[in-house]
Amino acid sequence: MKKYDAAIIGAGPGGYVAAIRLAGLGVKTVIAEKAEVGGTCLNTGCIPTKTLIKNAEIIREVKQAAKRGLRIAEPEVDMRATMEMKDKVVSGLAGGVKSLLKANGVDLIKGEAELLSENKLSVAGEEIAFDNLIIATGSTNFMPPIPGLDGEGIMTSTEMLDLDHVPERLVIIGGGVIGCEMATVFSNFGSKATIVEMLPSLLPSMDKDVSEVLRKNLRLSGVKALTDCRVTEVSGGPGGYKLKIAGSAGGASEIEADCVLVSVGRRPNVAGLQRLNLSLEENYIKVNERMQTGIKGVYAVGDVTGKLQLAHVASAQGIVAAENIAGRHSTMSYDVVPSCVYTIPEIGAVGMTEARARDACEEIVVGKFPMAACGKALAMGFSLGFTKLIADKKSGRILGCHIIGPNATEIIGEAAAVMQSGGTLRDISRTIHAHPTVGETLMEAAHLALGEPIHVLRGL
C-alpha cells in the first residue's frame, strides 16, 4: 500500500491546481480521476464551447462583411470538421495538464476512487493511504422532473458538443450562461433557436441592464427568448419534438423542435462519499473559509461545495486547500470574483449589481458609458452594449462593474484588480487608458460616475 501526504479525488480545475500547488510546497500528492484530466471545464464546458463560439464569431464577421465593403462567399458550417477542431484543442490542453502533473511529481491514477475510510481509498485496484484528502468531484448536468424530458435524444451541453449536424429548430430550456452561449453558437451556425426561461429575464443573476441588452443582441441573431415561461411537457423523439409551454399570465402554447437542449443548472457529485459522514447543505459539502469540511484533514473544493460554480473559483479554492494542508494559513474570499459569458458580444461582471448595491449601501453613484460612444467598439461593428461602474458615493470605492461589449471578458480583469485593492472611481479616471480601445470605456464610465463626463453629454 502506498502512502501519501495528500490524496485528491478529481482532476478538474480545482483538483489538478491543488495538486500542483501541494507539490510546489513539498507535499507528496496523488490524484485520482475516473474520466478525463481537466474536468468539465476543459472537456465538456469552458474550453470546447469557446472554440465553437470563435467559429460563430467568424461566421458573424463574414455575414457582416458586405457592410464593411468586403465581398465574401456565404459561410458553410462543416460540423464534423468543427468538432474535430474542438477535440484537437481539448486534447492538447489535457495533455498539457498531464505534463504539468508529471513534471511536478504528482502521481496520477486513472480510475474511480472508492473511499474506504477517512485515511484510505482504493482506485484501479490499488489501496492508498493518506494524511489529508481533497474532494474535487465536481458536478453534473441537472435534468428537471418535466414529463417526457427523459425521452430519447434529449440533450445536455455535453451531448451538444458532439453534434455532427446543425439542427434546424433548437429549443433551449434554461436562459442561464450555458443556454445563452449555446443559443449564440447555433443561431450563428444556422439554427432557429428559442430559449425558454422560467424567470423574468435571461441571465437572472446578472445586472438587469445587461440582461436587457443581451436579449436585444440575441434577437438580432435570430434567437427568440421566452421569459416568464416554463416547459410543462415534452413529447416526440429524434424525428421531432413538441414542447408544451406555460406562461406567467396563464397562457399556454406549443413549440416544435428538432433538438432539445436542457441547461437549467448542475448538481454536485457526492456519490460514494457516504463513508465520511460529511455535513451537507442542499446536497453540497459544507466547508469553511479554509476549505475544510467538518472532518479533520478532509477538504473540498469546486462545484461540490456549492459556492460559485466557476472554474477559476475552483482553482482558487484548490490553492487555499493546498496551502492549509501544507501548514500555511490561507482563506477563501468570494467578494471579488469575475464572471464571464461568451455571447456575441461578450459579458464580463464583477461585484454587486446595481439593484443589490442600492439595497446594501446608503448611497451609490453609477456611471454607464455606451459602446455606441466608443470608437473601437464602433469600428468593430458593435454599437449595442455598455460599461457600467457602480461605486459608493461617499468613498468612491468600486462596488461592481458590468460590461457587455467586445472583449468584455478580457477587460473585466482590470475592474476586478481595482476592486481587490480597494480602488476608487478616481483611481480609474486618473489612469491613462490607451486609445482607441474598448478598455477605455472603464475610464469613461468612471468620469461619468464622478459627474465629469468627457465623451458623452452630461446627464445622459
- pLDDT tens-place string over residues 260-288: 999 999 999 998 888 898 999 999 999 99
Q: Which of 248, 249, 256, 300 is nearest to 278 (CA)?
A: 300
pLDDT tier at 251, thresholds 50, 70, 90: low
Where in the chain are the domains? 2-140+267-325, 157-264, 345-449
- What H or E segment, with its residue span, contains residue 127? strand 126-135
Q: What is the pLDDT of residue 336?
A: 97
Sequence-separated (6 or more) residues with CB below 8 Å from residue 92:
none
As beta bridge partners, residue 29 has 6
Look up residue 323 and give its three cell numbers: 496551502
pLDDT tier at 407, thresholds 50, 70, 90: very high
Please state, in angstroms and as integers, the Cα–Cα distance from residue 4 to each residue in 22, 27, 131, following that order: 12, 8, 7
Q: Do 157-264 and 345-449 agree at the fold level?
A: no
Summarize the chain as % helix, strand, coil (round to 5): 35, 25, 40
| CATH-assigned architecture of domain 2-140+267-325 | 3-Layer(bba) Sandwich (3.50)
Q: Cα–Cα distance between 39 and 185 in angstroms, integer?
A: 22
Q: Cα–Cα distance between 417 and 301 in angstroms, integer?
A: 23
Q: What is the pLDDT of residue 345?
A: 96
Q: Cα–Cα distance between 423 and 433 in angstroms, integer?
A: 16
Sequence-separated (6 or more) residues with CB below 8 Å from residue 212:
201
Q: What is the pLDDT of residue 459?
A: 62
Identify the CATH number of the domain defined by range 157-264.
Answer: 3.50.50.60
Complete edge-to-edge strand list for the sheet that includes strand 386-392: 339-341, 346-351, 398-405, 386-392, 364-370
- 329, 402, 433, 435: the active-site residue: 435
| DSSP string over 410-458 | HHHHHHHHHHHTT-BHHHHHTSPPPSS-STHHHHHHHHHHTT--SSS-T
Establish how many alpha carbons lie within 13 A of residue 267's alpha carbon, considering only the half-sphere containing its beta carbon.
Answer: 8
What angle is formed at CA 161 by the lines to CA 159 and CA 164, rounded to 5 degrees? Answer: 90
pLDDT tens string 140-195: 999 999 999 999 999 999 999 999 999 999 999 999 999 999 999 999 999 999 99
Hunting for cell 491514477 — which residue is that?
109
What angle is formed at CA 53 by the lines to CA 49 and CA 54, rounded to 5 degrees? Answer: 120
375 neighbors 408 (Cβ within 8 angstroms)? no
Question: Hey, which of 1-5, 111-115, 405-409 has the most confident mean pLDDT?
Answer: 405-409
Mean pLDDT, rounded, for 449-459: 88
The mean of the pLDDT values for the chain is 95
Mean pLDDT, rounded, for 286-293: 98
Q: What is the pLDDT of residue 252?
A: 67
Based on the residue annotation, tell me whether 433 is a catalytic residue of this protein: no
Look up residue 126 and give its three cell numbers: 490499488
Whole-model pTM: value is 0.95
Look up residue 204 and give its three cell numbers: 437572472
Identify the CATH number of the domain defined by range 345-449.
Answer: 3.30.390.30
Q: What is the pLDDT of residue 212?
A: 97
User: What's the distance, CA 374 to chain centroid?
Assistant: 27
Query: Rounded to a whole number, what is the largest CA-CA distance in the chain?
Result: 72
